[in-house]
C-alpha cells in the first residue's frame, strides 16, 4: 500500500468515527451539536489522528495483535477534538481574532463568541469521555492503557503543554498587559514544543500506548514525534509568510501582522527550511535506531516537511 492510500483510507475512517462520537440530541441541546460539527467536520489534514493510527500500526508490527485500529481510534478522535477546540478558541477576538478557518468563516463569526467558547469547552470534555468510554470491552490491561492515554493527552493539552504554549505566545505578542516577554531562539523553540508539539507528541504516544508499547518503544515514539512536531510548526511559520488564504484555508500573514515571534522572523526563510529538514533527519534516525522504520511514520514525516498547506 502507498502512503497516500493509507492516509486517504485512515482519514475516511477517522471522519466516520468523529461523526459517530460527537454528541447528538437528545443527549445535548441541538445548538451544541450543530456548533461542534461546524468546526470538527470542516475537514483539515487530520494529522494528529493519523499519527495515532500510524503509530499504533507500527507498534503492532512489533507485537502482532488484533483490532489495533479499534483500540486506537477513540484516542485518535480525542486528539482531533482537542485540536479543534484549540483552533476555535485561538480564533476568538481575545486571542488571534481570525475570521477564516479551513476555508470558511470561523465558528465565532457564525455563532458568536459565547457559543464558540462553549463549543470548545464541550469538545475538550468529550475528548476524555471518548477515551474513557470506548472501546467498551473489558480486556486485561485495557483500562490501564486508557488511563495512560488520557493522562498523556491531558498533560499535552493543559498548562504543561498547549495552554502553556499559548500563554507564552500571547505574552510574546504583547497581548497580556504587564506581562510581555521577548523570545530568543531557544524560547521560541520551547513555546512551539508546548503550543503545537505537545499535542502532536501525545497523538503519536497515545497510539503507541493503546497498542501496548513498552517503555523503550514509547520513549522512541515520543522522541520521533517531538522532532516531527517542531518541523510541523517551523513549516507552518514558513507557510504563513509564503502561502495564501486559498491554499492554507486560513488567513495568511497573521504572524507578521500580529508581531508574533516565528522561525522566519528570527532565522530567515532559508535557515528555517534547513531547521525543519534537520528535525526530519533526526526523526528518521530515531525510527532506525528503535526498529520502527517499517511503517508509515517515516513517510508522514516527509509529508509534514513537504506540505504546502
Kindly write down the DSSP assignment for every residue of 28-45, as one continuous string: S-HHHHHHHHHHHTT---
* Pairwise CA distance, residues 107 & 293, whole Å: 39
* Pairwise CA distance, residues 90 & 102, whole Å: 13
109 burial type by CB count under 10 A (0-12 exposed, 13-18 middle, 19+ buried): middle
The C-alpha cell of 249 is what?
484555508
* Pairwise CA distance, residues 185 & 205, whole Å: 27
Give the domain extent around 110. Answer: 3-306
What integer pLDDT is reported at residue 63 of this predicted model? 79
Domain count, the chain: 1
What integer pLDDT is reported at residue 242 of this predicted model? 87
| CATH of residue 219 | 1.10.600.10
pLDDT tens track, the chain, 309 positions: 799 999 999 999 999 999 999 999 999 999 999 999 999 999 899 999 999 999 999 999 887 777 899 999 999 999 999 999 999 999 999 999 999 998 899 999 999 999 999 999 999 999 999 999 998 876 677 899 999 999 999 999 999 999 999 999 999 989 999 999 999 999 999 999 999 999 999 999 999 999 999 999 999 999 999 999 999 999 999 998 987 665 656 565 566 555 678 999 999 999 999 999 999 999 999 999 999 998 999 999 999 999 987
What integer pLDDT is reported at residue 40 of this predicted model? 97
* Pairwise CA distance, residues 19 & 31, whole Å: 16
Alpha carbon 23 to its chain centroid, in Å, reads 21
- Is residue 100 within 8 Å of residue 106, measured between CB atoms? yes
DSSP state of 22: S
Answer yes or no: pTM beyond 0.85: yes
Kind and range of the H or E run holding 90? helix 68-90
Amino acid at each position: 500500500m502507498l502512503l497516500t492510500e493509507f492516509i486517504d483510507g485512515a482519514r475516511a475512517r477517522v471522519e466516520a468515527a468523529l461523526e459517530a462520537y460527537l454528541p447528538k440530541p437528545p443527549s445535548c441541546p441541538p445548538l451544541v451539536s450543530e456548533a461542534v460539527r461546524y468546526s470538527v467536520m470542516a475537514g483539515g489534514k487530520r494529522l494528529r489522528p493519523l499519527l495515532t493510527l500510524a503509530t499504533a500500526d507500527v507498534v503492532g508490527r512489533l507485537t502482532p495483535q488484533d483490532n489495533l485500529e479499534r483500540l486506537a481510534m477513540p484516542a485518535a478522535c480525542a486528539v482531533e477534538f482537542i485540536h479543534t477546540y484549540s483552533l476555535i478558541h485561538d480564533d476568538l477576538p481575545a486571542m488571534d481574532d481570525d475570521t477564516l478557518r479551513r476555508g470558511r468563516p470561523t465558528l465565532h463569526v457564525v455563532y458568536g463568541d459565547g457559543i464558540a467558547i462553549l463549543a470548545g469547552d464541550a469538545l475538550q470534555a468529550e475528548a476524555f469521555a471518548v477515551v474513557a468510554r470506548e472501546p467498551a470491552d473489558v480486556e486485561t490491561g485495557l483500562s490501564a492503557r486508557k488511563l495512560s492515554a488520557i493522562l498523556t493527552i491531558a498533560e499535552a493539552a493543559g498548562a504543561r503543554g498547549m495552554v502553556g504554549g499559548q500563554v507564552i505566545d500571547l505574552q510574546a505578542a504583547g497581548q497580556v498587559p504587564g506581562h510581555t516577554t521577548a523570545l530568543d531562539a531557544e524560547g521560541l523553540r520551547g513555546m512551539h514544543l508546548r503550543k503545537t508539539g505537545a499535542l502532536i507528541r501525545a497523538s503519536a504516544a497515545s497510539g503507541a500506548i493503546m497498542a501496548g508499547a513498552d517503555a523503550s518503544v514509547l520513549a522512541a515514539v515520543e522522541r520521533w514525534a517531538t522532532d516531527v512536531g517542531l518541523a510541523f510548526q517551523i513549516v507552518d511559520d514558513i507557510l504563513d509568510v509564503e502561502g495564501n488564504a486559498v491554499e492554507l484555508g486560513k488567513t495568511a500573514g497573521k504572524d507578521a501582522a500580529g508581531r508574533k515571534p516565528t522561525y522566519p522572523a528570527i532565522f530567515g526563510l532559508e535557515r528555517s527550511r534547513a531547521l525543519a529538514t534537520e528535525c526530519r533527519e533526526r526523526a528518521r534516525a530515531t525510527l532506525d535506531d528503535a526498529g520502527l522504520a517499517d511503517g508509515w511514520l517515516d513517510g508522514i514525516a516527509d509529508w509534514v516537511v513537504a506540505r504546502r498547506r
